[in-house]
């Protein structure tokens, strides 16, 4: 009877098969890992805000200190979005007619909140405390980037667990003198590792890597 | 409430304060997962929601790193001065039960109260509370609370408003004041609130002819009458248990359901630690096996009706010893009570020893008597205190004549008038008379004859549904109020949030109907200024403190020469063939007012461990004589009244009687405790249907089994344990719950450490050294009363869900701290009970940690055994490998109820510092790691070290007897370290070399030397189930 | 070719009297007969009616399994009877049970092959298939028993943004690897062995489609000397590779319990005890399957009485091993003087789960004793019944170990009784559905007997001792 044999050409694709079987899985894992990583998904997230507030203008050009608005950053877990009142401190005199500030004036009038869109959004089971970091010389820049250069705030760091741990394992290169914390453009004269090591001693900083540090 | 802002301590407030509660904004806020809180800590995605998203599907789960739904941040338009978003604030307030105030400190997150603690500075609390106060927050957010004024007609409920009610009341009460209140009646709950009583006086001035009825199921009327006989005035015995060397409790649950139990426990505990000076000795004579009985050094089970006889016999014994002088000594000595149970040698010996003990400790002894006992018994008991010279030493008698007690005669009068139809308008100021009035009065029927039936209440309850007006009552966390604590300290209550459902307090309602002041604050301030305690500054200070320091009840003078008492009718004490039933308040739901709290329903009864039900408690011998056992239904009948009720066999219960806990079988409580209209079957059985006005405390009843059975669900002994189990348990009990008698301890203080003999505990590897903090806990079994407040405190602090009766039956209760209760003793009828709270022991070599395949439970550098919910995949291996079985698994999504429409408000009760667990993850005690972390951040941002006492876990904070200590074991001076170094300290199952961080301190009893030493714990296990 | 004695005319006793053991293949005239009888099944257009009946039945149960798993995933693990303290219930019991079944295959194929046990040839394909399918069922349960299936991939060491690795100290993780390896190797082994037979089927195939499919899987086999040479080598290697796994898998599975601290689990006897038990149950299952199969597809001349008798002997022997383990557990519990250990075993035998314990003992220890008698070893219906008993008994063994140890551990306060829900039971039943569906499909489409190997053990295979050379016709 007629035996079934692989056709001649099938010999040609054999090496290809080999390649696919070997490289394929590796490639796929790679794609998935990259595609699912916070770097890919979250970095660069810059939602449109109800009020086109420009950090570049206020923090950058006008050189306002972060803490003028984010008042509780040093005492609470939350840096806290400023109340409308804070805006009105100036804007009841400046740009009182500007249509871009309509929502702000309305809020000030009605007492209703302005629904800002959260940019830096940690999972709800991760507990981050601003005060714990800021008072130890971890600058806003480390996580939020050069906000003073952003017209629209966007996420620059992946804010992934691994990313947090990197710093918790070796914080030196992310530390700076506490008084410089909100100075976006600060640069160290000496090597940061070196400086960081010093500061670490001074404030006796021992970032913890226990699960309960962030998960409760 | 704008007036609030004037007060310093309460200036920072719920952000929607200015717009009133009924505005759509507020409703929307409530409808949201969490109020769109200040500065967006709360937003459209709550923790639980997130976990649920993950739970929703594999796809979502695996893509958990995808950006989840957009969150918005809602900042204040105008943030109050000094308000720090995300930081909890603390307000002092108070809660009143049966006219006794409990001082509280409420923790509030961004305007929503989430946790209740005791007021540290307040004499009747000292920082502790009972479980009812702990459950207060859940009560506040209970979705079943009535959400607005209702006008009812038959079965028709028409939503109405305060406006239309006040329109109605203006006319109605104008009419009534014309007739001086003819045909007007008030049913008011018991309260000691000066501001309320002031309003009441004014009300009675306006409506002199109105009939005012004080009513509550748990009455102190007998006590008032009894003490009046002795002292000429209604008096309240204020006990200093720390001063008493010998305490005799005649069915008075001093450390259990007593209104002052919290302070009692604290004082009692100070005398139960052998190393801290001489121990006291507690004698308890009671029918039911109460918490106090479990603590007793000598407990004598006796029918409630025989206690009077026992007391007289004791008097006789004392006379014989020439210890006391009483007017009617002669005739008493002529024919002293004898026969019946008094004939038993055991009882003779007991009386002898007791009398001897009392006399020996003359002036340092104390006799307490249950308020449900007949007046003459109460009178005699308190007279004994005078005779033994205790007054001024261990007990002071305070004049409570001005504080109303439940008034049975007035109630009867009211019902009579209602029947005649001479009552046109009846206001119920918060009580539930239709449910809890004596059955024979048949209040419900008479009530319908009243034209205007106005009901103020938290729920549309049994009384509410048959009223014509239902008015929502403000929760104690929502309104201004004040009250007197047990020792008379004037305690204020300030609202911690705007009323959720436009509720008003009783005082405010009175003000409204009188056409007078309707602001609760104004009333309280008025009372304050009447007392002439100072101006605005003092007022603010007082509100901040929560009470008027140093205020107290007026102490009775001339209590040294008591009036003679008529000979007591001693018929009741001869054993009769019919069973005696005692009506007791329930440790979980009290008289039914707390029935609709899931936390309290699921909180195991401290003695029976029953959840979601009450049951008739009986002695094993009595039950078997009646052919009954745990779970079998029995018919109890008094005259023409009868109820069918499940039986629970309670070791150590007095024979020939049964104890019936009140407060269950609610038909209109809510979706938790029962709502027949909505086909929610009531939990437990309504005992009030049996309780008659002839005897509110106890009376004889006929009992017989119906042959049916009922599923009672307990968190312990889920199933009746067989012989082998019994032996096994008895065999190991002594190792687990260690204890002994005082002399044993005197001979060898560290005896507890030598109970278990095991090879030296060596590790195969170099063990981790704990520098820095080394957290640990200690639990003193000698002082733990078993009240279970810790369980509720933990539930409130850690967002522990309620799972319901069926799941508890399956053995899936979620409580992180379990109050284990064991009965010991060879004779079931004489059984003793021991309590042992067990939560995660935070083993240094935790068996759970090494078996978790994904490292979801790991060890911290400070020796905590972390449980990471968001890493857990739910293999449950850790739970299997935990020798203490303290891990709890979310078999279902236990928080689904939060999703139900109308229940969203429940979300407000969650503690924002603790992740709300979803389906399929393991959870357990963390030593309240969230508190540790916040303390750490607080200390370290100020570059300090955490001091001893900076961290208190919820269980330790609530513990009335200070049995739980927590702190740093590396700190030589910390309380917990000292406890660990105590000779009595031992590690449960330490022989497994788990190195638990929680140490138990052995329980020491102090029996009377002349009485044969009873079996110490674990000597023998008795059957029960 | 030499004619061989026709055995059917001889009675059992006469057979016994034969000097040499009865042949492994009976009344097969030629190699061709073997090929015929095996291949004809796959080539037949219709199966015996009973096959269809069984297959529909199996499919139904498979459906049930699907439904149960759906219910489970949508509702939560609570649909089972698991509770505190019995956090592991049916799923883990079933897992261990199926893994146990999955043992005989590799044992028969690999170990007996290495020991040159000729008689394995009749049944090895069978039992290998059984192994694969059993392990499929086994693998299912740990996967579905976790609380959050959607993140179960966390047990695999994949680099991730959390910088988290699985906990390599956990026996459950060892399981993942042990069972995974075992499955892979068994699968390879099975497939390898099938290649020549697939080629045979390919060559006999009539339709293009069959030719193509069998062709693909036959990997272009043409029975050349070189092919045979390499085949034998590879087969030997795989056998050598598989053999340690037979021991390792169930040892590792037993660690799930042995490593834990619970009295009744924490014991060193578990690895050998579990392996013996596994072989025991495995052989029982082979019997349960082969007895009907040989009748159904009349393989009586390939899977002969002798095969069955030998398997009976294995069962009896391993049965006694298991019995010894039971006894030894008690001894150790008593000898250790450990209060908790002691109680656990008394509780096992006389406590609330005594019924389960004694079912186990009577099924596993007592019932196989009947195989002391040759008559019993040759009475097909009896053997079938006993094999079923053993299966039941071994399921209960796992139940007893898991549940009775957990339900009453250290603290009496948390003692509780475990009772399964209907979902538990249906899931177990459903897993049988999965097993038999796969198995029946195998019977339908694949060579149930290793044709080439059987031919090997036929005397005609060694007229002049020239091994391996088999001509396809």
Residue B927 lies in a domain: yes
Q: What are B1003's two structure tokens?
A: 């329980």
Instruction: Answer yes or no: do B722 and B701 share one domain.
Output: no
Cα→Cα distances B810→B80, B813, C87, C271, C416, Å: 49, 8, 12, 33, 9
Q: Which domain holds residue B851?
A: 5-32+718-756+775-1011
Report percent pLDDT > 90 for chain C.
47
- The band of C292, judged by pLDDT with boundaries at 50, 70 and 90, is confident
Specify the pLDDT at position A44.
86
Residue C254 lies in a domain: yes
Record: contact A210-B861, CB cut-off 8 A: yes
Q: In this predicted model, what pLDDT tens digit does every residue of B981-993 receive, in sequence order?
A: 999 999 999 999 9
Smallest CA–CA distance, residue B504 to chain A, in Å, is: 26
Record: contact B880-C77, CB cut-off 8 A: no
Q: Please state the rounded mean pLDDT for residues B306-313.
A: 89
Residue B687 lies in a domain: yes
Instruction: Answer yes or no: do B740 and B668 share one domain.
Output: no
A82 contacts A104 by C-beta, under 8 angstroms: no
Residue C402 lies in a domain: yes
* Nearest to A50, CA basis, from B677, B707, B70, B474: B70
- The band of B574, judged by pLDDT with boundaries at 50, 70 and 90, is low
| Chain B touching partners, 3 or more CB pairs below 8 A | A, C
Report percent pLDDT > 70 for chain C.
90
- The band of C26, judged by pLDDT with boundaries at 50, 70 and 90, is low
Cβ contacts of C160 on chain A, cutoff 8 Å: 33, 162
- The band of B454, judged by pLDDT with boundaries at 50, 70 and 90, is very high
Record: contact C220-A5, CB cut-off 8 A: yes
Instruction: Answer yes or no: do B855 and B981 share one domain.
Output: yes
For residues B917 and B903, give the distance between their C-alpha atoms in angstroms, rounded to a whole number: 18
Least CB–CB distance from C151: residue in B61, B818, B852: B61
Strand-pairing partners, residue B118, are: B104
Residue C472 lies in a domain: no
Radius of gyration from C-alpha coordinates of chain B: 28
Q: In this predicted model, what pLDDT tens digit does every residue of C29-82 receive, in sequence order?
A: 677 777 777 777 777 778 888 889 999 999 999 999 999 999 999 999 999 999
Instruction: Answer yes or no: do B791 and B667 share one domain.
Output: no
Least CB–CB distance from C220: residue in A6, A33, A162: A6
B730: CATH: 3.30.70.20
B529 contacts B521 by C-beta, under 8 angstroms: no
Weakest mean pLDDT among A25-34, A145-154, B410-419: A25-34
Smallest CA–CA distance, residue A19 to chain C, in Å, is: 18
Which residues between 254 and 283 in chain C have a beta carbon less than 8 angstroms from any beta carbon of chain B?
A: 256, 259-262
Only one residue has tokens 């400086």, namely A195
* Nearest to B256, CA basis, from B585, B503, B517, B710: B585
Q: Which domain holds residue C182?
A: 2-467
Record: contact A208-B860, CB cut-off 8 A: yes
The answer to whether residue B734 neighbours chain C at the CB level (below 8 Å) is no
For residues A83 and B40, give the distance between their C-alpha atoms in angstroms, rounded to a whole number: 11
C312: CATH: 1.20.1630.10
Specify the pLDDT at position C47.
81
Q: Please state the rounded mean pLDDT for residues B313-317.
A: 89
In this predicted structure, the answer to whether residue B14 has a pLDDT above a threshold of 50 is no
B619: CATH: 2.40.40.20
Record: contact B873-C340, CB cut-off 8 A: no
Q: In this predicted model, what pLDDT tens digit does every residue of B618-669 receive, in sequence order?
A: 999 999 999 999 999 999 999 899 999 999 999 999 998 999 999 999 999 9
| Chain C touching partners, 3 or more CB pairs below 8 A | A, B
In this predicted structure, the answer to whether residue B552 has a pLDDT above a threshold of 70 is yes
How many domains are there within chain B?
3
For residues C275 and C103, give the distance between their C-alpha atoms in angstroms, rounded to a whole number: 8
Q: Supply the mean pLDDT for chain B.
A: 86
Residue B770 lies in a domain: no
DSSP secondary structure letters along B581-596: EEEE-BTTTBTTTTTT
Instruction: Answer yes or no: do B691 and B781 share one domain.
Output: no
Instruction: Answer yes or no: do B280 and B362 share one domain.
Output: yes
| Run of H or E including B979 | helix B975-981
Instruction: Answer yes or no: do B676 and B748 share one domain.
Output: no
Residue C473 lies in a domain: no
* Nearest to A206, CA basis, from A172, A177, A155, A182: A172
Record: contact B890-C147, CB cut-off 8 A: yes
B753 contact partners, CB below 8 Å, separation of at least 6: B983, B985, B986
Residue B990 lies in a domain: yes
B347: CATH: 3.40.228.10
Cβ contacts of A74 on chain B, cutoff 8 Å: 941
Cβ contacts of A33 on chain C, cutoff 8 Å: 158-160
Q: Supply the mean pLDDT for chain C.
A: 85
Residue B92 lies in a domain: no
Q: In this predicted model, what pLDDT tens digit does every residue of B90-143 receive, in sequence order?
A: 999 999 999 999 999 999 988 899 999 999 999 998 999 999 999 999 999 999
The three state secondary structure string of B2-56 is: HHHHHCHHHCCCCHHHCCCCCCHHHHHHHHCCCCCCHHHCCCCCCHHHHHHHHHH
For residues B473 and B499, give the distance between their C-alpha atoms in angstroms, rounded to a whole number: 9
Which residues between 127 and 186 in chain A have a beta carbon less than 8 angstroms from any beta carbon of chain B?
A: 127, 129, 131-132, 135-136, 160
Least CB–CB distance from B929: residue in A76, A118, A212: A212
For residues A176 and A196, give the distance between their C-alpha atoms in angstroms, rounded to a whole number: 7
The answer to whether residue C427 neighbours chain B at the CB level (below 8 Å) is no
Specify the pLDDT at position C299.
77
Specify the pLDDT at position C297.
78
Cβ contacts of A135 on chain B, cutoff 8 Å: 941
For residues B775 and B753, give the distance between their C-alpha atoms in angstroms, rounded to a whole number: 22
The answer to whether residue B711 neighbours chain C at the CB level (below 8 Å) is no
CA atoms within 13 A on the CB side of A184: 19
In this predicted structure, the answer to whether residue C336 has a pLDDT above a threshold of 90 is no
Q: What angle do CA B647, B650, B655 make, to 5 degrees?
A: 90
Record: contact C410-B883, CB cut-off 8 A: yes
Q: In this predicted model, what pLDDT tens digit does every residue of B814-861 receive, in sequence order?
A: 999 999 999 988 888 888 899 999 999 999 999 999 999 999 999 999
Instruction: Answer yes or no: do B739 and B684 share one domain.
Output: no
Instruction: Answer yes or no: do B708 and B579 share one domain.
Output: yes
Instruction: Answer yes or no: do B629 and B750 share one domain.
Output: no
How many domains are there within chain C?
1
Which residues between 57 and 116 in chain B have a beta carbon less than 8 angstroms from any beta carbon of chain A?
A: 63, 65-68, 70-79, 84-87
The pTM (predicted TM-score) of the whole model is: 0.88
Q: What are B251's two structure tokens?
A: 């069915």
Which of B399, B431, B459 is the C-terminal boundary of a domain?
B399
How would you label C281-310 residue by residue, b for 16+ Cβ within 10 Å and e otherwise? bbbbbbbbbbbebbeebebebbbbbbbbbb
Tally of residues, chain A: 216
For residues C291 and C381, give the distance between their C-alpha atoms in angstroms, rounded to a whole number: 9
Which residues between 56 and 95 in chain A have a beta carbon less than 8 angstroms from any beta carbon of chain C?
A: none
Residue B907 lies in a domain: yes
Least CB–CB distance from B39: residue in A78, A84, A203: A78
Q: What angle do CA C256, C257, C263 make, to 5 degrees?
A: 155
Instruction: Answer yes or no: do B670 and B783 share one domain.
Output: no
Residue C286 lies in a domain: yes
Residue B356 lies in a domain: yes
Smallest CA–CA distance, residue C167 to chain A, in Å, is: 14
Specify the pLDDT at position C220.
83
Instruction: Answer yes or no: do B709 and B853 share one domain.
Output: no
Record: contact B883-C82, CB cut-off 8 A: no
Residue C112 lies in a domain: yes
Q: Please state the rounded mean pLDDT for residues B872-877.
A: 94
**DSSP state, residue B604:** P
Specify the pLDDT at position B10.
32
Residue B766 lies in a domain: no
Tally of residues, chain C: 473
Which of B399, B421, B450 is the C-terminal boundary of a domain?
B399
Q: Please state the rounded mean pLDDT for residues C106-124.
A: 78
């Amino acid at each position: 009877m007629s035996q079934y044999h692989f056709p001649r050409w099938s010999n040609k694709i054999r090496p290809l098969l080999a390649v696919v079987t070997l490289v394929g899985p590796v490639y796929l894992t790679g794609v998935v890992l990259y595609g699912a990583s916070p770097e890919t998904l979250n970095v660069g997230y810059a939602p449109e805000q109800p009020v086109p507030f420009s950090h570049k203008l206020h923090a950058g050009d006008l050189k306002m200190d972060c803490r003028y608005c984010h008042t509780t950053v040093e005492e609470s877990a939350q840096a806290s979005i400023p109340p409308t009142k804070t805006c009105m401190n100036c804007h009841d005199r400046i740009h009182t007619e500007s249509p871009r500030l309509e929502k702000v004036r309305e809020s000030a009038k009605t007492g209703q909140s302005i629904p800002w869109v959260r940019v830096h959004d940690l999972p709800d089971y991760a507990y981050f405390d601003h005060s714990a970091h800021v008072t130890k010389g971890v600058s806003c820049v480390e996580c939020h980037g050069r906000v003073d250069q952003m017209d629209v705030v966007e996420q620059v760091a992946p804010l992934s667990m691994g990313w947090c741990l990197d710093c918790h394992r070796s914080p030196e290169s992310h530390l700076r003198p506490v008084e410089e914390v909100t100075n976006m453009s600060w640069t160290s004269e000496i090597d940061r590792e070196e400086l960081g090591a010093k500061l670490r001693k001074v404030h006796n900083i021992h970032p913890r890597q226990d699960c309960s540090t962030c998960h409760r | 409430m704008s007036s609030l802002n004037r007060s310093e301590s309460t200036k920072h407030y719920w952000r929607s304060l200015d717009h009133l509660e009924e505005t759509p904004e507020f409703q929307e806020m409530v409808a949201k997962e969490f109020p769109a809180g200040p500065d967006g800590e709360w937003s459209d995605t709550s923790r639980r929601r997130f976990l649920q998203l993950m739970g929703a599907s594999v796809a979502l789960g695996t893509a958990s790193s995808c950006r989840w739904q957009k969150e918005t941040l809602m900042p204040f338009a105008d943030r109050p001065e000094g308000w720090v978003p995300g930081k909890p604030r603390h307000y002092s307030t108070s809660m009143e039960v049966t006219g006794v105030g409990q001082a509280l400190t409420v923790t509030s997150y961004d305007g929503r109260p989430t946790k209740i603690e005791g007021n540290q500075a307040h004499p009747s609390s000292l920082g502790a509370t009972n479980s009812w106060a702990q459950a207060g927050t859940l009560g506040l957010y209970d979705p079943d609370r009535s959400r607005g004024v209702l006008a009812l007609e038959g079965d028709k409920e028409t939503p109405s408003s305060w406006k239309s009610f006040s329109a109605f009341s203006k006319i109605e009460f104008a009419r009534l004041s014309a007739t001086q209140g003819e045909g007007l009646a008030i049913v008011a709950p018991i309260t000691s609130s000066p501001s309320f009583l002031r309003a009441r006086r004014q009300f009675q001035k306006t409506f002199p002819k109105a009939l005012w009825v004080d009513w509550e199921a748990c009455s102190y009327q007998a006590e008032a009458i009894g003490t009046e006989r002795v002292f000429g005035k209604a008096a309240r015995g204020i006990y200093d248990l720390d001063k008493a060397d010998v305490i005799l409790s005649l069915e008075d649950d001093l450390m259990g359901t007593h209104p002052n139990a919290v302070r009692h426990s604290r004082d009692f505990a100070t005398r139960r630690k052998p190393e801290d000076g001489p121990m006291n000795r507690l004698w308890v004579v009671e029918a039911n096996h109460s918490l106090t009985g479990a603590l007793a050094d000598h407990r004598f089970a006796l029918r409630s009706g025989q206690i009077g006889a026992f007391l007289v016999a004791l008097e006789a014994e004392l006379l014989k010893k020439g210890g006391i002088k009483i007017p009617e000594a002669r005739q008493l000595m002529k024919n002293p009570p004898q026969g019946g149970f008094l004939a038993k040698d055991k009882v003779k010996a007991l009386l002898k020893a007791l009398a001897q003990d009392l006399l020996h400790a003359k002036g340092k002894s104390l006799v307490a008597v249950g308020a449900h006992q007949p007046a003459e018994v109460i009178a005699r008991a308190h007279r004994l205190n005078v005779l033994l010279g205790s007054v001024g030493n261990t007990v002071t008698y305070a004049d409570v004549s001005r504080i109303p007690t439940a008034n049975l005669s007035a109630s009867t009068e009211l019902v009579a008038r209602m029947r005649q139809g001479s009552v046109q308008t009846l206001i119920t100021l918060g009580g539930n008379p239709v449910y809890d009035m004596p059955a024979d009065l048949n209040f419900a029927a008479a009530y319908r004859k009243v034209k205007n039936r106005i009901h103020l209440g938290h729920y549309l309850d049994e009384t509410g549904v048959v009223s014509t007006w239902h008015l929502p009552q403000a929760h104690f966390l929502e309104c201004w109020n004040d009250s007197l604590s047990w020792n008379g300290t004037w305690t204020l209550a300030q609202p911690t949030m705007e009323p959720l459902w436009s509720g008003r307090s009783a005082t405010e309602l009175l003000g409204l109907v009188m056409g007078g002041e309707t602001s609760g604050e104004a009333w309280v301030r008025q009372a304050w200024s009447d007392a002439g305690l100072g101006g605005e500054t003092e007022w603010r200070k007082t509100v901040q403190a929560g009470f008027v320091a140093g205020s107290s009840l007026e102490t009775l003078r001339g209590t040294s020469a008591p009036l003679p008492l008529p000979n007591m009718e001693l018929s009741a004490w001869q054993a009769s063939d019919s069973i005696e039933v005692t009506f007791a308040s329930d440790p979980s739901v009290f008289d039914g007012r707390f029935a609709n709290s899931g936390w309290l329903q699921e909180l195991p009864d401290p003695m029976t461990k029953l959840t979601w039900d009450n049951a008739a408690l009986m002695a094993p011998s009595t039950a078997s004589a009646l052919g009954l056992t745990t779970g079998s239904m029995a018919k109890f009948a008094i005259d023409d009244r009868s109820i069918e009720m499940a039986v629970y066999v309670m070791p150590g219960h007095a024979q020939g009687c049964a104890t019936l806990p009140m407060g269950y079988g609610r038909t209109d409580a809510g979706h938790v405790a029962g709502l027949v209209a909505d086909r929610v079957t009531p939990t437990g059985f309504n005992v009030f249907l049996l309780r008659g006005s002839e005897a509110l405390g106890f009376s004889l009843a006929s009992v017989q089994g119906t042959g049916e059975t009922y599923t009672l669900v307990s968190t312990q002994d889920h199933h009746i344990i067989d012989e082998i189990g019994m032996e096994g348990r008895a065999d190991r009990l002594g190792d687990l719950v260690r204890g002994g008698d005082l002399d044993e301890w005197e001979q060898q203080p560290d005896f507890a450490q030598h109970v278990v003999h095991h090879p030296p505990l060596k590790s195969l590897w170099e063990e981790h050294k704990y520098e820095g903090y080394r957290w640990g806990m200690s639990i003193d079994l000698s002082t733990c009363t078993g009240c279970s407040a810790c369980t509720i405190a933990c539930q409130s602090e850690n967002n522990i869900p309620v799972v319901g009766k069926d799941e508890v039956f399956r053995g899936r209760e979620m409580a992180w701290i379990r109050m284990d209760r064991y009965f010991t003793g060879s004779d079931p009828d004489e059984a003793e009970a021991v309590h042992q709270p067990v939560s995660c022991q935070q083993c240094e070599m935790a068996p759970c940690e090494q078996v978790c395949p994904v490292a979801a439970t790991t060890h911290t550098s400070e020796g905590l055994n972390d449980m990471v919910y968001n890493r857990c995949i739910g293999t449950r291996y850790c739970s299997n490998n935990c020798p203490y079985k303290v891990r709890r698994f979310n078999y279902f999504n236990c928080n689904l109820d939060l999703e139900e429409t109308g229940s969203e408000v429940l979300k407000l009760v969650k503690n924002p510092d603790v992740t709300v667990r979803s389906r399929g993850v393991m959870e357990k005690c963390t030593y309240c790691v969230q508190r540790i972390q916040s303390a750490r951040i607080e200390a370290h941002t100020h570059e300090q070290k955490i001091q001893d006492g900076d961290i208190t876990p919820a269980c330790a904070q609530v513990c009335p007897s200070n049995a739980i200590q927590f702190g740093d074991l590396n700190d030589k001076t910390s309380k917990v370290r000292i406890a660990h170094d105590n000779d009595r300290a031992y590690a449960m199952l330490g022989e497994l070399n788990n190195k638990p961080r929680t140490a138990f301190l052995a329980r020491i009893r102090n029996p009377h030397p002349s009485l044969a030493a009873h079996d110490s714990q674990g000597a023998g296990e008795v059957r029960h189930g | 070719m030499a004619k061989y004695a026709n055995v059917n005319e001889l009675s059992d006793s006469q057979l016994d009297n034969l000097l040499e053991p009865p042949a492994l293949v009976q009344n097969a005239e030629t190699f061709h007969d073997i090929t015929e009888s095996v291949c004809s099944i796959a080539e037949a257009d219709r199966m015996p009616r009973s096959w269809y009946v069984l297959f529909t039945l199996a499919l139904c149960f498979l459906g049930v399994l699907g439904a149960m798993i759906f219910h489970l995933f949508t509702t939560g693990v609570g649909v089972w009877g698991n509770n505190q303290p019995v956090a592991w219930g049916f799923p883990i019991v079933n897992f261990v049970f199926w893994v146990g079944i999955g043992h005989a295959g590799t044992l028969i194929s690999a170990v007996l092959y290495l020991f040159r046990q000729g008689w394995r040839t009749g049944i090895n394909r069978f039992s290998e298939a059984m192994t694969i399918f059993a392990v499929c069922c086994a693998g299912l349960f740990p996967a579905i028993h976790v609380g959050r299936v959607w993140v179960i991939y966390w047990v695999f060491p994949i680099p991730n943004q959390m910088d988290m690795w699985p906990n390599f100290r956990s026996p459950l993780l060892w399981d993942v690897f042990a069972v995974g390896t075992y499955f892979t190797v068994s699968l390879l082994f099975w497939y390898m062995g099938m290649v020549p037979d697939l080629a045979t089927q390919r060559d006999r195939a009539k339709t293009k489609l069959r030719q193509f499919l069998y062709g693909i899987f036959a990997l272009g086999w043409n029975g050349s000397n070189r092919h045979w040479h390499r085949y034998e080598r590879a087969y030997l290697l795989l056998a050598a590779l598989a053999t340690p796994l037979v021991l390792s898998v169930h040892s590792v599975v037993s660690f799930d319990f042995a490593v834990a601290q619970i009295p009744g689990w924490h014991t060193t006897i578990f690895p050998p005890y579990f392996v013996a038990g596994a072989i025991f149950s495995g052989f029982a299952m082979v019997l349960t399957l082969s007895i009907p199969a040989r009748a159904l597809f009349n393989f009586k001349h390939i899977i002969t009485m002798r095969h069955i008798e030998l398997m009976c002997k294995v069962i009896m022997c391993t049965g006694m091993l298991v019995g010894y383990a039971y006894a030894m557990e008690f001894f150790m519990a008593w000898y250790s003087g450990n209060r908790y250990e002691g109680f656990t075993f008394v509780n096992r035998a006389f406590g609330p789960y005594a019924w389960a314990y004694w079912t186990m003992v009577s099924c596993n220890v007592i019932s196989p004793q009947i195989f002391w008698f040759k008559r019993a070893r040759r009475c097909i219906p009896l053997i079938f019944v006993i094999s079923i008993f053993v299966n039941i008994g071994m399921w209960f063994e796992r139940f007893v170990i898991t549940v009775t140890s957990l339900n009453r551990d250290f603290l009496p306060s948390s003692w509780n009784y475990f009772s399964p829900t209907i979902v538990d039971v249906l899931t177990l039943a459903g897993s049988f559905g999965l097993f038999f569906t796969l198995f029946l499909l195998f019977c339908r489409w694949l060579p149930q007997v290793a044709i080439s190997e059987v031919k090997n053990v036929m005397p005609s295979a060694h007229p002049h001792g020239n091994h391996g050379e088999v001509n396809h016709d």
